[in-house]
A and B are shown apart, each in its own frame.
Chain A
Amino acid sequence: MIGYKKFKFFPTLLLLLLLFITEILTAQEKKKANYIQNIPGVSFKIGMNFISGGTFKMGSPLTEQGHETDEAPVHTVNINAFWMSAHEITWDTYELFVYGDYDQTKGLGVDAITRPSKPYLDMTFGMGKEGHPAIGMTQFNAIQFCKWLYTRTGVFYRLPTEAEWEYAARAGTKTAFSFGNDTTILGEYAWLKSNSKEKTHPVGSKKPNQWGLYDMYGNVLEWTLDQYIPDYYSQILDNSSDPVAKPVNLYPHSVRGGSFEGTALELRSSARRGSDPSWKRIDPQIPKSIWWFPEAPFVGIRLVRPLITPSKKEIDAFYNQKPIADY
């Protein structure tokens, strides 16, 4: 009887197991999809695009027009899957983090965050706020924004690594731009010196790349996690997985994608640039602000969420890195 009962029960169990497995798979597939990150208490949303993992050639060959030595040698890099925000983060969302009294999400999350000093200057530089990319923040400030968002959403966000950024910008291509090498059509995809009228523009007002990412080229340079090391590509092993040059110095950090002030060739997928102390030159205070660059209206941020969430301990360690004083 017992055996029979067991036997009779078995197909049901099998069915349940199958269903369960299907559920898991569906959930996983579901997980590997684009999603919208809501922020509690406000109407602003952040569209996150799923970027499948893969292997790509990072850097550019000598033959590419505009090639610089810091883009060589071309090397193979493996990238784990992640999500990337379809747009550069706008002031609409960023100001919630900057201004404590204005933050309508306050009380909806843990408030154990440090907010930036209120910028003394007009950090929109008269270029516009609603829909425009948040600009002029230091890399430390950008990471603290990620922490603020984490406390509001429970989701771990960070800046992209240089490798992730270039992988996403290339969207599977090997050409100078994701649409090819023809700089004459760059204006369809990007705000740059030749069409920007010296201003940032609302995010997403140009064509996206093949992976649905807007403004990867132009509008604003985007912070990465990496220290900018000109010969980094000859320092790392070929076939590395998710390489990152962990910053030990305040300058320079790597910024990517060119800006509304940039020339076409400065916007290429492989073009690299480092942050510079001159961006704080006119800060009249000492110590200089750890939060703002009064002369960098051309740098902003785009978010990444890795597929595999780090441990709580790793997250805390990442967000709670001490800022390096700037004299």
Chain B
Amino acid sequence: MSITKKSTSQPLRRAFLKTSAIIAGGTVLSTLPFSGVYAEEGGTIKIALVGCGNRGTGAVFQALSTKYNIKLVAMADAFKDRLDQSYDAAFKKFGKAKVDVPEDKKFVGFEGYKHAIAEADVVLLVTPPGFRPAHFAEAVKQNKHVFMEKPVATDSPGIRSVLATAEEAKRMKLNVVVGLQRRYQKSYKETMKRIQDGVAGDIVSGQVYWNSGGVWVNPRVAGQTEMEYQMRNWYYFNWLCGDHINEQHVHNIDVANWAKNSYPVSAQGTGSRFLRTGKDYGEIYDNHTVEFIYADGAVIQSQCRHHEGTLNRVDESFQGTKGKFYLNANNNSGKIWDSQGNILFTHAGKGDPNPYQTEHDELFEAIDKGEYKFADAERVAKSTLTALLGRYATYSGKEVKWDEALNSQINLMPDSLSWDALPKILPDANGMYPFAIPGKSKVV
């Protein structure tokens, strides 16, 4: 087994050295000696998990549930308890043959990701999104294929970093799949294929929603440093989460960009902290409504709300010059009507493949065959930026242009990461956090 392990990663390392040399020499590489390294040698694909929460553990389960010869060899998390829970669940399910992570390959703390990445051929980056730009950059620097969760950043410097790394990943022909699973969901692919073929004409307007009752909260526990508290209750801090318009609603916003096959040029909107105002809820808003304007004048309205007891709605609707269409990930449904309201296409998706599994099936098939097929990072960085553009619009109460959003110099990440270091946002004497005030706060 040890010989196998060695032989699988060696070709990649060699490829990486060669690539680096060429890039350093200023030449854009067109081809790489990269074919069937795993399949040919019957080798094991080694994976590392960075971010061992419930979603990270879910991603490991999906990777290990593909039909390829995959082994989890290293794990990293800021928290030991989360790492241990994740390891225990994976080990219990898959056993030593597929989960082989000795104690010295379990990396706890803020810097562990570098070591975990070094152990693997493919890395799963599933921490809160604020860390994604740094982790993605490190993975590509170390010549690894990547599965990473959405969104991919929480501020504009993060977006620019991911865009740069995405370019690098393309040059190095590293497969990058990002967990906007609607892109891998049959109902969406089937419907969007028809939209791109012009069945509904030019898309002139749309409405995309993520209206729910909200998500989990982890109240402060005595003895936590400020850094630990914010990390445990990460959903409510922008440097970690980017607000729910980014963390959740990016799914629907990405569908809007998909429908338009482009990105907005500007946005304006409104939002607030109206019901979720307590000290357990950091700084994020509980509702945003945004108009995204595209270059051709199309307007897509986005609405996301975390209000308990109100209408739940998570779906996307669009209107075109020749018809309209509707998508709902939850129901696996996709429908297209003509301008008179006659049904042109219905996708009845009962029993469709699980898109979360499909992401991994397709990624690992490509890697196993030595193929270069997936470059999701640039697109998802731009859809993440679209969500941030929305947040900048609601937080500022002003019209914000795409280029302003892309070039914003506001960096939300702490200057240093350790349990005693201070995040940039801090509570007042009453434990309340400052939050954006439209018209006053500088947020772009």
A interface list, Cβ under 8 A from B: 95, 98-99, 101-102, 117-126, 129, 281-287, 294, 297, 327
Contact = CB atoms under 8 A, between A and B. Distances in A.
B57 A125 contact: no
B313 interface: yes
B214 A123 contact: no
Contacts of B418: none
A125 B54 contact: no
A120 B235 CA distance: 13
Interface of B: 54-55, 57-62, 86, 89-90, 92-93, 181, 211-216, 275-276, 308-309, 311-315, 328, 330-331, 354-356
28 contacts: A95-B213, A95-B309, A98-B213, A118-B214, A118-B216, A121-B314, A122-B313, A122-B314, A122-B330, A123-B312, A126-B330, A126-B331, A282-B354, A283-B58, A284-B55, A284-B58, A284-B181, A285-B54, A286-B60, A286-B61, A286-B86, A286-B90, A287-B54, A287-B57, A287-B89, A294-B330, A327-B61, A327-B89
Q: Which 8 A-B residue pairings sit nearest by Cβ, starting from the closest?
A: A99-B308, A102-B308, A285-B54, A286-B57, A102-B309, A122-B312, A122-B314, A286-B58
A61 B126 CA distance: 54
A323 to B, nearest CB: 15
Contacts of B331: 125-126, 297
A124 to B, nearest CB: 5
B215 A118 contact: yes
Contact of B92 (A129, A282, A284, A327): A327
Given A126-B315, A126-B330, 18 more contacts: A95-B309, A99-B213, A99-B308, A101-B276, A102-B308, A118-B214, A120-B212, A125-B328, A125-B331, A281-B354, A282-B354, A285-B55, A285-B57, A286-B58, A286-B61, A287-B54, A327-B89, A327-B92
A212 to B, nearest CB: 30
B193 to A, nearest CB: 22
Contacts of A102: 213, 308-309
Grouping DSSP codes into helix (H, G, I), strand (E, B) and loop, the B interface class, with mixed when no group exceeds half, is: mixed
A282 B93 contact: no
Contacts of A287: 54, 57, 89
A102 B286 CA distance: 14
Contacts of B311: 129
Contact of A101 (B62, B86, B308): B308
A188 B89 CA distance: 49
Nearest to B355: A282
A126 B308 contact: no
Contact of A126 (B55, B57, B328): B328
Q: Which of A99, A124, A284 has the most CB of B within 10 A?
A: A284
Nearest to A327: B93
Contacts of A297: 331
A101 B312 contact: no
Contacts of A283: 58
A302 to B, nearest CB: 22
Nearest to A286: B57
Contacts of B61: 286, 327
B348 to A, nearest CB: 9
Nearest to A136: B330
A283 B181 CA distance: 12
A75 to B, nearest CB: 35
A284 B184 CA distance: 14
A120 B215 contact: yes
Nearest to B54: A285
A284 B251 CA distance: 14
B239 to A, nearest CB: 22
A281 B357 CA distance: 10
B215 A99 contact: no
Given A99-B309, A122-B330, A327-B92, A285 B58 contact: yes
A112 to B, nearest CB: 17
Contacts of B59: 284
A270 to B, nearest CB: 25
A251 B305 CA distance: 34
A102 B86 CA distance: 32
B212 A119 contact: yes
B118 to A, nearest CB: 25
Contacts of B58: 283-286
Contacts of A125: 328, 330-331
Contacts of A117: 216
